[in-house]
Amino acid sequence: MTSERKATQAPSLGDMPVDEFRQYGHAMVDWIAEYLSGIEQYPVLSRVAPGDITAKLPEHPPASPESMDGVMADIDRVVMPGITHWNHPSFHAYFSISASGPGILADMLSSALNVNAMLWKTSPAATELETVTLNWLREMLGLSKEFEGIIYDTASVATLHAVAAAREALNLRIREEGMSGRADLPRLRLYTSEQSHSSVDKAAILCGIGQAGICKIPVDPEFRMRADALGVAIEEDKADGWLPFCVVATIGTTSTTSIDPVPAIAEICKKHDVWLHVDASYAGPAAIVPEYRSILDGCEHADSFVTNPHKWMFTPFDLSAFYCRRMDVLKQAFSLVPEYLRTATDDVARNYMDYGIQLGRRFRSLKLWFIIRYFGAQGIAARLREQIRITQQLAKWIETDPNFELMAPVPFSLVCFRYRPKEYAEMLATAGDDEIAQMEQEIDGLNERLMETLNASGKLFISHTKLNGKFTLRFAIGNIKTTEDHIRSSWEFIQSEAAKVKKSQ
């Protein structure tokens, strides 16, 4: 694949020499800096086909050392064609995450330190920095001091831990005796909305609740969980012999970023002694903006809460901040300390390995610490505020175009919309059911082709969902480099490509 090192180079069984590391370390930083400054030259979505990258790679590993020059060259030759550029200012699919400069530098340092933050003893700085940084974030979000935090990789894992803690809080000796074959164990019931993330289902599956133990609560016209329906469902389930034990509410659902009525849900959970977990993995950071602090109303009554700085706080993937008011229950669910990990400081210092399934833990807090210090709470709030502003601007442009329509409210930095040519709007107003179904199918087809056309262009990348059965385009804004000019350019491109798709119909 690349040339071998020169034969005159002395063989070594040690690591890369420091001088060589310095040479290529500087080269890598220069490469990253050039990439970030010139990222708009790349198509946002990778254009390779399945197997293209594999075809450029040898089938067998190199038997002899290869030069770093060759390895570096293969970044451009092999890797870059297969990269979808999440750091591109025109990446608008899923949730538009981006890695900021200070976070990238912190990740480099974390790799160099190579810390395993399982015990306080294995790196006191990693443990204590995690605690302090999460306290800072908690204060920035306006959460109660009753919450203590721990960093996991993703909200999916955080939700799994929340459900496991909720199960442990029942004191049914599930940790000791399991759930299989127990006649004394009632069937457990978990509640969440029809719009919740699939990770809630996966957590229920992994915790032995099963999909049959999940009750999906219907939503209102704005895609928010109906608290009244939740209350009825819990009452009916209790009458039928179920044991309600956990509710997962969402602030910023994946499809539409809707906000469940947490205060009302919290009252129901308190009434029935049910664990409340709040998933604010996407929208949580918006509470750093003072005028959006109210989105977390009711969360002070939650038992656990998660938000992801890697989604909307410019933190390199991955970093999920999990908070819990009942850390003793979380520890009770997961703590298992073999003799070889016992230390003299166990009673006075926190060992984060006791609060999750992982033993090995990366030094993730370092990048969040860098970011909060570099931008400051006010700087982060200003950037989030601007992204919400330009999102609202896009929503207004869509609303005023007779060929497009908004499909959901726009509380944060995601717009759900679709292309619906104005002649369809006129016909739908008077059509019968069969005609409406046919036209809706045609409109779905137009939007799917429009999305494929836009993404194939390389100029932007969007994703989709289905709302009320209708194919819906999702345009997410969250990249630290995205400006109103980017959004205006993307909107004009969407309009022009939609007209072409309609013409070719």
384 and 439 fall within a common domain? yes
Position 1 scores a pLDDT of 41
385 and 347 fall within a common domain? no
Stretch 402-413: mean pLDDT: 96
383 and 329 fall within a common domain? no
Tell which of 329, 362, 395 closes a domain. 362
Query: Which CATH number covers residue 256?
Result: 3.40.640.10
Q: 371 with 313: CB under 8 angstroms?
A: yes
Does 94 have pLDDT greater than 70?
Answer: yes
396 and 467 fall within a common domain? yes
* Residue 350, in any domain of the structure: yes
The predicted-structure confidence for 156-195, as pLDDT tens digits, reads as follows 999 999 999 999 999 999 999 999 989 999 999 999 999 9
Stretch 470-474: mean pLDDT: 97
Neighbours of 157 (CB within 10 A): 20
Position 442 scores a pLDDT of 93
Neighbours of 88 (CB within 10 A): 26
* Count of domains observed in the chain: 2
Two tokens, residue 445: 């087809």
Supply the DSSP string of 352-376, one letter for each residue: GGGGSS-SS---THHHHHHHHHHHH
- Please list, in sequence order, all residues whose beta carbon lies within 8 angstroms of the beta carbon of residue 333, skipping any fewer than 6 positions away: 161, 164, 165, 167, 168, 175
Place of tokens 């990269």: 83
* Residue 68, in any domain of the structure: no
Q: Sort strands 404-406 and 414-419 into parallel, antiparallel or unpaired.
A: antiparallel
Q: 2 with 67: CB under 8 angstroms?
A: yes
479 φ, ψ (degrees, to nearest 5)? -75, 135
Neighbours of 19 (CB within 10 A): 8
157 and 235 fall within a common domain? yes
225 and 339 fall within a common domain? yes
Q: Is 137 helix (H, G, I), strand (E, B) or coil?
A: helix
Tell which of 362, 396, 417 closes a domain. 362
Query: Which CATH number covers residue 37?
Result: 3.90.1150.170
Amino acid making up residue 190: L
Q: Domain limits at 246?
A: 116-362
305 and 355 fall within a common domain? yes
358 and 239 fall within a common domain? yes
361 φ, ψ (degrees, to nearest 5)? -140, 130
Position 11 scores a pLDDT of 58
304 and 246 fall within a common domain? yes
* Residue 5, in any domain of the structure: no
* Residue 9, in any domain of the structure: no
204 and 172 fall within a common domain? yes
* Residue 345, in any domain of the structure: yes
What percentage of the chain exceeds 70 in pLDDT? 98
407 and 342 fall within a common domain? no
Tell which of 362, 387, 411 closes a domain. 362
Q: 301 with 268: CB under 8 angstroms?
A: no
Which residues face 150 on adjacent strands? 322
* Residue 50, in any domain of the structure: no
Position 96 scores a pLDDT of 86
Amino acid making up residue 50: P
Does 305 have pLDDT greater than 50?
Answer: yes
* Residue 6, in any domain of the structure: no
pTM of the model: 0.93
* Residue 261, in any domain of the structure: yes
Neighbours of 360 (CB within 10 A): 9
249 and 173 fall within a common domain? yes
Does 404 have pLDDT greater than 50?
Answer: yes
Does 294 have pLDDT greater than 50?
Answer: yes
